[in-house]
Amino acid sequence: MKRLLRSYRLSKLSGRLLIYSFLILGGLVSFFPFAWMVSTSFKTPAQALSLPIRWIPNPLTWENYQSVWARFNFARYFTNTMIISVSVTVLSVVFCSLAGYAFAKKRFWGRELIFNLLLATITIPGAVLMTPLFIIILKLGMLNKFLGIIIPFCVGVSNIFLMRQYISTIPSELEEAARIDGAGELTIWWRIIVPLSVPAAATVAIFSFVGAWDGFLWPLIVLKNKEMWTLNVALGLLQSEYIASEASPWGILMAGSLVVTLPLVVMFLLLQRYFMRGLVIGAVKG
Amino acid sequence: MSSLRRLGIALYREARYNYIPYLFILPALSILTIFLIVPALQAFRMSFYDWKLLGTSTFIGLKNYLDFLSYPNVLLSVKNTLYFAALNVPGTVAAALFFAILLNNDIRGRHWFRVLFYLPVISSDVAVALLWKWLYWAGEIGILNNLLKTVGLPPQDWLGNPQLAMPAVVFLSIWKGMGTYVIIFLAGLQSIPPDLYEAGRIDGAGAWATFRHLTLPLLRPITLLVVLLLTISSLQVFTPIFVMTGGGPANSTITIAFYIYNLAFSQGRYGLASAVSYVLFAAILAITVIQRRILGQEVTY
């Protein structure tokens, strides 16, 4: 009996060892490309091409970052991307909260119909919208303007859904009490619903920000003027000609990639809780 | 007639006494209508026209849809996209499920593994596509080939070889997308009551039997949802193609979304682009419907 228990423990231990090795391997595969990105971005052009491969750059140079920021105008693109992402985030939170509140708490004719219609639009692929949306933006005079990026994508149906799910868990007595006290509808939303739905709003804000920051195809179509580019558009368009024209383009390209990625990674590390919750709300419970 | 009248009365009442909810949904609804629903319908109309951005567009019936079969590379783009999806969907599901099951043990630092797996997800599409273009770089200076050399394998021209380019893009895609589904699967696994595993153990079920007959069936709804989400996104893959291969080599990585982009914005074939996009839309709808059938319940996002 004692021996059996010991062999059971041993097999359990080796099982755990196997689990940890696979996990660490997976973690390394996830992380290793980023390490290479950082390493390359601090190398001089000659070093980036020299063999054998060195992980720690020597000498370590900031030059790639300086040229990305100034010569390649990423300072400007960073500002552009920030303006677009913050605007999308603010509009998204406000509009989705308002709509989510109405769909969760209000009774009105056509509520289910409209909501289900909106949910059905989730299956529309972006490729379908590409051409006609371009024409609409052109006609509205939004081509080459931030508005052309911000307005079409500031309302996500899944965000309305998320807000509705969360707000419907807030007890209605609170609104009723406020209504009896003579509060107007907008006041009730602002003073009661908004403060009580902060976690859902935070999730919506984060995913809207990330979505706007990460957008590529649509800004590529709308922002033709170089001055208006976002970071992703700049990186996506500059890379191919730069690779073709430079013998050693990768130091600068990796510095550029890091500039695009780092804000999102920092945000994620600070706000992990909301990310994880957002993913799980969307998928498991519905 | 009377039902129409009732509808009229109902609407009048709503407009007169209960208009506030409509004001609340108005901003979201109008934006979604103008920038989502109208263009989606407009694309359908455009697909029957030889559409001109300036000047008059002419109605040409089904010609765009017929061109679909004969226009160079359209069918190739469909084939490539299906190939991408056929590798990417099972690959991502398998990898995500594998790591989620490992993490579902009593793991120290589970939280940090989740963070690590999610890191590629949060990174910009363009930036990681560019990063992998560099990892895959041909010759010894590419880090992947360099690693291969140290273990004694021959270097490959990953993105320059028509046989390898698409699998290489798929690997990036699995690496980038897996983290989301690890978290979703893990949440699903954690919602399985531990008593069930206890019962399995008492019945003498081994690790594989437990996985096969307990975990997998219980995860079925989540797995189907994940497969659906992944299929939809796979059929629309654009950014890694644009950045890493530009559709090459030898057109081996032209995908539908990439092709539509080129049709519309390089060649000005807006009508044909719309027709192709509607075929894509139809495919996505069909898949959604089939999966809902299989699932037998609402899929919620």
Is a pLDDT exceeding 50 seen at residue A285? no
Query: Given a cut of 80, is residue A283 above it in pLDDT?
Result: no
Q: What is d(CA B90, CA A61) in angstroms, rounded to the nearest whole number? A: 42
Q: pLDDT for B118-175, tens place per residue? A: 999 999 999 999 999 999 988 778 889 888 888 988 888 899 999 999 999 999 999 9
**Is residue A24 one of the residues assigned to a domain?**
yes
Residues 113-172 in B contacting A (C-alpha not used; CB under 8 Å): 113-120, 122-128, 130-135, 137, 140-141, 143, 146
Inspect the interface and report whether the beta carbons of A19 and B102 lie closer than 8 Å: yes
Name the average pLDDT for chain B: 87
pLDDT for B80 equals: 94
- Residue pLDDT, tens place only, A90-122: 999 999 999 999 999 988 888 999 999 998 888
Over chain A, what is the mean pLDDT? 88
Count of the separate structural domains present in chain A: 2
Q: Does A107 touch chain B (CB under 8 A)?
A: yes
Query: Which pLDDT band, with edges at 50, 70 and 90, does A164 fall under?
Result: very high
Contact B36 A275 (CB under 8 A): no
pLDDT-based confidence at residue A284 (cuts at 50, 70, 90): very low
Enumerate the H helices of A42-73 as residue ranges. Answer: 45-48, 63-66
Residue B93 has pLDDT above 90, yes or no: yes
Which of A25, A117, A130, A259 is the best substitution to test chain B (most B C-beta atoms within 10 A)?
A130
The answer to whether residue A136 sits within a structural domain is yes
pLDDT band at B300 (very low <50, low <70, confident <90, very high): very low
Distance CA B30, CA B28 (A): 6
Report d(CA B3, CA B10) in Å as an integer.
10
Q: What is the ipTM of this complex?
A: 0.88
Nearest CA distance, B262 vs chain A (angstrom): 11
Q: Model confidence over A33-92: pLDDT tens digits? A: 999 999 999 988 877 777 777 888 878 888 889 988 988 889 999 999 999 999 999 999
Q: Is the pLDDT of residue B273 over 50?
A: yes
* For A34, nearest residue in chain B (alpha carbons): B131
C-alpha A263/C-alpha A202 separation (Å) is 17
- A30, A34, A40, A42 alpha-carbon torsion, rounded to 10°: -150
CA distance B79 to chain A (A): 17
d(CA A95, nearest CA chain B) in Å: 6
Quote the percentage of chain A above a pLDDT of 70: 94
A86 Cβ partners below 8 Å, 6+ apart? A209
Determine, yes or no, domain membership for A38.
no
Q: Does A96 touch chain B (CB under 8 A)?
A: yes
Q: Are A275 and A268 in contact (CB under 8 A)?
A: yes
Q: pLDDT-derived band of residue A32, with 50, 70 and 90 as boundaries? A: very high
Q: Measured between CB atoms, does A13 come within 8 Å of chain B?
A: no
Q: Are residues A227 and A128 in the same domain?
A: yes
Interface of B with A in 58-87 (CB under 8 A): none
Residue B49 bridge partners (DSSP): B59
ω into residue A195 within 30 of 0, thus cis?
no
Tokens at A55, concatenated: 């992980």
Q: Which amino acid appears at position B200 of this protein?
A: G
pLDDT digits (tens, 9 = 90+) for A178-187: 889 888 889 9
Averaged pLDDT for residues A244-269: 90
The top-level CATH class assigned to B72-295 is mainly alpha
> Is the per-residue pLDDT at B1 higher than 70?
no
Q: What is the pLDDT of residue A87?
A: 97
Do A7 and A116 lie in one domain? The reply is: no
User: How does residue B10 score in pLDDT terms, banded at 50, 70 and 90?
Assistant: confident
Q: What is the 3-state secondary structure (H, E, C) of chain B?
A: CHHHHHHHHHHHHHHHHCCHHHHHHHHHHHHHHHHHHHHHHHHHHHCCEECCCCCCCEECCCHHHHHHHHCCCHHHHHHHHHHHHHHHHHHHHHHHHHHHHHHCCCCCCHHHHHHHHHHHHHCCHHHHHHHHHHHCCCCCCCHHHHHHHHCCCCCCCCCCCCCCHHHHHHHHHHHHHHHHHHHHHHHHHHCCCHHHHHHHHHCCCCHHHHHHHHHHHHCHHHHHHHHHHHHHHHCCCCHHHHHHHCCCCCCCCCCHHHHHHHHHHCCCCHHHHHHHHHHHHHHHHHHHHHHHHHHCCCCCC
Are A254 and B131 within 8 A, CB to CB? yes
Percent of chain B predicted with pLDDT > 70? 97
A25 CB near a chain B CB, below 8 Å?
Answer: no
- A43-57, A196-210, B284-298: least confident range: B284-298
Peptide bond connecting A52 to the previous residue in cis, omega within 30 degrees of 0: yes
Contacts of A126 in chain B (CB under 8 A): 236, 257
B window 175-214, beta carbon within 8 A of A? 175, 179-180, 183-184, 187-188, 191, 207
Give the list of residues 6+ apart from residue A73 with CB closer than 8 angstroms, or none: A234
Residue bearing tokens 């990674």: A265
Based on the fold, state whether residues A23 and A131 are members of the same structural domain: no
In terms of pLDDT, which residue wins out, B29 or B283?
B29
Phi-psi region of A184 (alpha: psi -120 to 50; beta: other; left: phi over 0): beta
d(CA A275, CA A176): 32
Is residue A21 domain-shared with residue A129, that is, in the same domain?
A: no
pLDDT category, A10, cuts 50, 70, 90? Answer: low
Give domain status of residue A90, yes or no: yes
**What's the CATH number where A80 sits?**
1.10.3720.10
For chain B, give every domain's residue range.
Answer: 72-295
Per-residue model confidence (pLDDT) at position A1: 57
Please report which helix (H) or strand (E) contains residue A53, including its range: none
Q: Which residues of B touch A214 (CB under 8 A)?
A: 124-125
Tokens encoding B137:
């770089």
Same domain, A109 and A24: no
What is the domain range of residue A8? 2-30
d(CA A47, CA B39): 50
Contact A125 B277 (CB under 8 A): yes
Of A132, A250, A286, the CB nearest to B46: A132
Same domain, A138 and A198: yes
B12–chain A Cβ distance below 8 A for any pair: no
Q: For chain B, what's the residue count?
A: 301
Predicted pLDDT at A7: 65
Are B25 and A102 in contact (CB < 8 Å)? yes
Q: Are residues A12 and A130 in the same domain?
A: no
Q: Do A286 and B301 touch (CB under 8 A)?
A: yes
Give B299's pLDDT tier (boundaries 50, 70, 90): very low
